[in-house]
Structure 1
Amino acid sequence: MLDVIYRKTQAGLTEIQTRASGLSLKQRQLLIMIDGKTPAHALPMAMPEKDLVHKLLELEWDGLIERAGSLPPKTAATVAAPAAAPAPAAAPAVAAGSFSLGLNAVRISAGQVARIRSILHMTNQNHLSGELDEMIGEMENLVSVAEIERCIARYLAVMKGRGMESAAQTYLAQIRTVVR
């Protein structure tokens, strides 16, 4: 996620002029710094990586920024490796093929699905070289919790197979935040 290059959308440019969305100071500063050339990890924001990722996701979900590209895979791996955070100790282990969002609901909203797809898309591009593009594309019309969980289980199996289970746990925490 931090090797993604973002650019402002038309809504983002308008927000800078009008301040209509009521962004927090940090969100507004981040929006102003996004230039379509600088990868997220190089933005001069004084905040923990987790907060930066969260604020970038919020700006993207609100339609104020969009992905303009990312660093080449070799560079991205080199840049992202030192910044990778270990999985929280309380993160539940997930067996390949099984995953639960912990919801009692049968359906989730289209907005939640879009946010989950966004998280999976970023990690798919950054860590899996687009291996799951087809699956993520198919998620667009899914609203069944069971179908979403099957997709996430597949994603987890691929990440685990590549030795990236701790990174996957970090992204799962973001996904669980989206659905709660």
Structure 2
Amino acid sequence: MTGARSRGYARAYWLGLFAVTWALSTYSFALYKALDARWIIRFPQGWQVPLDRWISDAMAWLVEDASLGLFTFRDLTRFVSAVIEAPYSLVRAALIDGFWQGQGQQAVEIAPALSWVAVIVVLVALALWAGDAVLALLVGGCFLYLAVFGQWESAMVTLASILIAV
């Protein structure tokens, strides 16, 4: 009996909500004109919370003035960025760019990036280890699709990001 009663309450609630919404959408402009109730059409500016200004001020303070003792917040975020960038650069070099020594035109390639065949073989082997032949076929087909349709490099950038994030 309680299930039927709660369904009845829920139905009455939604019907009432629909009726209020319909009445407001139908008669709010007439009510606005009759009572000069501008708040019906435009949200009152005095009621708005200046959250955007608060967040901007907090971020400006954090970036420009915040000190954590021996270092600033900016130093902390740059350190975290460097800690993340080091392994990401290594994985990206292995998957896309290859390993180079030197700058600009004097750069010498030490080791090329892994070939698409090697990456697919490793990922299919990983899929076989983690699942079964169906998963391995799916992984192999998906990565072969990326290679055939010219999306290999962007997919490897994404894969490098995922490998570092996980």
- Give the TM-score of the pair, scaled to structure 1: 0.24
Say which structure is richer in helix. 2
Return the index of the structure with the highest Cα Rg: 2
Relative CO higher for 1 or 2, CA cutoff 8 Å, sep ≥ 6? 1
- Give the TM-score of the pair, scaled to structure 2: 0.26
